[in-house]
Structure 1
Amino acid sequence: MANLEKHSYFWVFCLFSVKPQKPLMVMEYWSGWFDTWGEHHHVFHAEDMLAVVAEILERGVSINLYMFHGGTNFGFVNGAMDFGTYKPQVTSYDYDAPLSEAGDCTIKYHLLRNLFSQYHSEPLPEVPLPQERVAYQTVLTQQHISLWDSLQFTDKPYQSERPVNMENLPVNDNNGQSSGYTLYETTISRGGTLSSQNNIRDRALVFVDGQFVGCLDYKCHEVTLPEAEAHRTLALLVENCGRVNYGKALDNQRKGIVGDIVLNHTPLRGFTTFCLDLKPSFIKRLSNSCQWKTDSQSPSVPGFLQARLCVDGPPKDTFIKLPGWGKGVVFVNEQNLGRYWIIGPQHFLYLPGPWLRRGENQITVFEEQKTDGKIVFSENPDHGKTIDVYKMPFCTLL
């Protein structure tokens, strides 16, 4: 029996051996699996799934499908898994479910519907017609503002001798920062080896006087800083990539910088910290500012870029694609749509029609690495390369 099937039946038969007269139910039968950045999109083939579900029902066991309808980790609400290696989940929670993230009836849905109809005495209702989707015309970014110029629209920065983690910052009525980015700045007078000592949660872009010099994360703990004689500003833009919701590392989930950062074996001191949780209030202040640049020069990254999408008629569902971009977050009419990252597997963001309005719509993108200024729309998603969940090691499913 395949790994996924073993997991599905195991607890049911354990219960049956203890209480044979009690009703049985598979409480969480996986229709697919979630995706993590940098890996493949997980699929569970419809025919394989149908055979297992049919056997469960034939044995008189009830079943709950997880997921029956795929979803979306809008904004910063994606989780992460950790079985010794931290892996943040992507924005899409399509899960290869019978009903897709956008509400499409998949082959899985129709096969399951036919199977379930055998256990129903009356004909099932008609399947609803699919929602109409639109591939809007490609739009170009028209304005841009660097991250450094945008800091004036954040709350007052916090001064501290040592770095303070995200949750303990005196922001949001002293409730701390829960998600997004945090920018830490300090002054250095020399170059050398900058070591995170694994105190970055979860990923930091490192800048010296606004120039990118490297990235620190769970795999890379050191960056070499260039030598110079004058005092310079060292900045670390730290991203909370998502808290662990599956795995062994469910405790101690502080984010930001959680301990000392060391330059040539000496801990850095004297930090100025900016909260960049990118809430709608910040995006609104930023959008209404007069600091945006419209010149033809390449926009400074990291930074914010803005475009306008004109919708004629009632808004329809669509998918945003950013093929020439690197990594960042998309905001539609000041609401956080979610994260994107060139490493995939996800190469789209699902944009529901209700997020749009007839007429002009504002699209703001926070980009960390690179951009070609083009925002593309499609009627269909692009989940990237796929892998069958049957090929996953059994230990990762428990």
Structure 2
Amino acid sequence: MAVFFLPLVLTGLAPRPFKNAVFKSPARFSWSHLSPFNLKNRTIGLSTALQPNGKAYFTLEGHKFMIVGGSVHYFRVPREYWKDRLLKLQACGFNTVTTYIPWNLHEQERGKFDFSEMLDLEAYVSLAASLGLWVILRPGPYICAEIDLGGLPSWLLRDPESKLRTTSKDFVQAVDEYFDHLIPRILPLQYLHGGPVIAVQIENEYGSFYMDPMYMDYIKEALLKRGIVEFLLTSDNGKEIEFGSVKGALATLNTQSFVKDYFIKLHRMQNDKPIMIMEYWTGWYDTWGSPHNTKSANEIQRTVSKFIKYGFSFNLYMFHGGTNFGFMNGAKQDPYHLGVVTSYDYDAVLSEAGDYTEKYFKLRKLFASASGDPQPPLPLTTPKTVYPFVGPSFFLPLFDILSYLDKPVTLYTPVTMENLPINNDSGQAFGLVLYETSICSGGRLLASVHDAAQVFLNNVSIGVLDANTAALNIPKIQGCQLLRILVENQGRINFSWKIQSERKGLNEFVSINYILLRNFTIYSLDMKRSFLKRLLLRNWKLAPPHYRGPAFYWGILKVGSSPKDTFLDLRNWNYGFVFINGRNLGRYHNTGPQRTLYVPGPWLHPDNNDVIVFEKIKKGFYIQTTNKPQLQKCCKENS
């Protein structure tokens, strides 16, 4: 099918107001805007049509239109850099931005919604509109996205009978309540109402899950009856695409390469519809202890050239990956639990810190050649710098700060973090949990731990438990002593049916010599910003040079009068998290491949910045900064 491109500025189009912004016509690969199209008595934004030769294509206001999209997740990018990343998307030659909507971040506690700061979905879409970009939203409820539990909130796991991603009564009730809050935010963003949203995806990759043949119809109707009127999509990999599709929505493909058989299969499923690749993977995510994944720029260029040649609409996943700040990272079971690293660089078209790559320039050249239009100038690169090293001179051992925490829970038997009676009975979503009980004899400790635990007698470490190690020998003791089990959620699995069993912490079956332990005191260590602020007000001690065990370390990063982006190099530390001015930058781990943590310049204050490291194993000496990320190499094992 021949591909035609219209000029950057399209004629005969009245500007459309959107939240006091003027929607600009998209650049690159736009044929023009939409001709309203009626389907089952509803007007939708994006339409399809057939050429005389029978080939289908999208139309937008009566003209041919190719979706040239790139994924940029607002929740993985500092809000201050949204505009920079979107301008770079547009300057490369894209006309559409796609994003998931993470339920677990927006409703961490049931009934309590957060759409502020980096989670301000409406502001993000408004910004895209003001720049002249179309938007495709992917609201789930399940999104995968390599984030914790695939974007489903952890409180769904409180009920052992509820079945995720099915028409189970409890699950769809929770979905309905979430959509009752979310969808009204989306409605004015739709094209029909003057916004840039031209399509909405139903769920995500359900063909790989497929536990309930009625589920996708339920989610589709849940969107329609709340007022979604734009084009509906599903997306699946080529092997299971028919299982995830639903009548009334365009089936689209997720793929890592140009697999001819997948396109033939998709065409046979819906031969009167255009072909669209919802996810063409520009790279892949990394997990701790595994090699860094890369994909060649030449391969990306060749595959995208084929999409253009055949007239396929496409979306690159990811154009810009960003960062798994805090504890949002997911995990996979392969065959053991492997947490996704903090960086979501993905070897994408734009790097984690927003820098241009070889892939970017090859695609920009390709799109310019295909369209024949003059390209907008390249936005400036975001400056990076090196600051003086940080020497965390002060520390607080974990067990010294328990009195600073919220009141602990006392229970006869331990429960997982999701089932703790806290946070308005939503349990605990992220972080660590400390379980304490008194024991009066040694022996063989048995516990099912998810994902990793450090075990202590009073303050003395006696070993570790994890998904692969369920038993530990406790030495003989005199009298009764305090058994402490510190368990970390290292990321819930984000893909496959195993998400149903992703409860973290300890269950009730903790025993010594097969005698169940009772009477637990349980501390929630979710590491929220409010806790970090309280921690800074405490009396910190001078840190010894070689302290072992979980502890907080405090130092000052001096940046001068004009803060810029940088990276923290934690090569002489072992495993933990870093907070800067109360913001959780994410995990570091000496198993690699990631060796540096990205620090956005807008998160730094002029002059002095508080850096708090929670190190689980052994104190490092100092923290260096660097102006380049290190994602390639693995390093030593935990010591």
Q: Distance in 2 between matches of 1:224 and 1:96?
A: 44
Q: Distance in 2 between matches of 1:142 and 1:20?
A: 67
TM-score (norm 1): 0.91
Task: Pick 1 or 2: higher relative contact order, CA cutoff 8 A, min separation 6.
Answer: 1
Choose 274-283 or 244-253, whichever is displaced more: 244-253
Correspondent of 1:241 among 490, 502, 507: 490
- Partners of 1:145 and 1:299 within 8 A in 2: no
In structure 2, what residue type is equivalent to 1:349? L
List per-residue Cα deviations over 1:102-157 (Å, max 9, x = no partner): 00110011111111112223111122221110111111012101000011111111
Number of the residue aligned with 1:353: 601
Q: Distance in 2 between matches of 1:83 and 1:251?
A: 17
- Partners of 1:37 and 1:89 within 8 A in 2: yes
Q: Distance in 1 between matches of 2:422 and 2:623?
A: 33
- Partners of 2:595 and 2:633 within 8 A in 1: no
Question: Is 2:402 the counterpart of 1:151?
Answer: yes
Q: Distance in 1 between matches of 2:256 and 2:422?
A: 45
Q: Which ranges of structure 2 fall in alignment gaps of 5 or more residues?
A: 1-254, 635-639
Number of the residue aligned with 2:341: 90
Alpha-carbon shift at residue 35 of structure 1 (Å): 0.7
Correspondent of 1:262 among 511, 514, 533: 511
Number of the residue aligned with 2:553: 305
Number of the residue aligned with 1:342: 590
Choose 247-256 or 137-146, whichever is displaced more: 247-256
Count of aligned pairs: 380
Go from structure 1 to structure 2 and tell me whether the alpha carbon gap of 1:11 and 1:154 turns closer, same or farther (over 3 Å shift). Answer: farther
In structure 2, what residue type is equivalent to 1:223? L
List per-residue Cα deviations over 1:169-228 (Å, max 9, x = no partner): 1222332211100000111122222122xx211111111121111111111112221112
- Partners of 2:256 and 2:282 within 8 A in 1: no
Question: Is 2:389 the counterpart of 1:141?
Answer: no
Q: Which ranges of structure 1 fall in alignment gaps of 5 or more residues?
A: 387-398
The 5 A counterparts of 1:271-286 are 271-286=520-535
Number of the residue aligned with 1:369: 617
Q: CA RMSD in A?
A: 1.7
Whose Rg is larger? Answer: 2
The 5 A counterparts of 1:311-350 are 311-350=559-598
- Partners of 2:574 and 2:620 within 8 A in 1: no
Alpha-carbon shift at residue 85 of structure 1 (Å): 3.2
- Partners of 1:83 and 1:248 within 8 A in 2: no
Q: Larger % of helix: which?
A: 2
Go from structure 1 to structure 2 and tell me whether the alpha carbon gap of 1:209 and 1:96 turns closer, same or farther (over 3 Å shift). Answer: same
In structure 1, what residue type is equivalent to 2:282? S
Q: Distance in 1 between matches of 2:424 and 2:489?
A: 20
Correspondent of 1:232 among 481, 488, 498: 481
Alpha-carbon shift at residue 282 of structure 1 (Å): 1.0
Q: Distance in 1 between matches of 2:570 and 2:421?
A: 35
Q: Larger % of strand: which?
A: 1
The 5 A counterparts of 1:1-398 are 4-5=256-257, 10-82=261-333, 84-196=335-447, 199-290=448-539, 292-294=540-542, 296=544, 298-299=546-547, 301-385=549-633
- Partners of 2:327 and 2:491 within 8 A in 1: yes
Q: Distance in 2 between matches of 1:382 and 1:83?
A: 24
- Partners of 1:201 and 1:258 within 8 A in 2: no
Alpha-carbon shift at residue 298 of structure 1 (Å): 4.0
In structure 2, what residue type is equivalent to 1:75? G
Choose 32-41 or 76-85, whichever is displaced more: 76-85
Number of the residue aligned with 1:389: none
Alpha-carbon shift at residue 11 of structure 1 (Å): 4.1
In structure 1, what residue type is equivalent to 2:535? L
Alpha-carbon shift at residue 321 of structure 1 (Å): 1.0
List per-residue Cα deviations over 1:324-377 (Å, max 9, x = no partner): 111101000011111111111111100000110101100001000012230110
Alpha-carbon shift at residue 385 of structure 1 (Å): 3.4
Q: Distance in 2 between matches of 1:24 and 1:359?
A: 53
List per-residue Cα deviations over 1:295-320 (Å, max 9, x = no partner): 65644521000000112121100000
In structure 1, what residue type is equivalent to 2:489? N
Q: Distance in 2 between matches of 1:10 and 1:170?
A: 51
Q: Distance in 1 between matches of 2:620 and 2:501?
A: 39
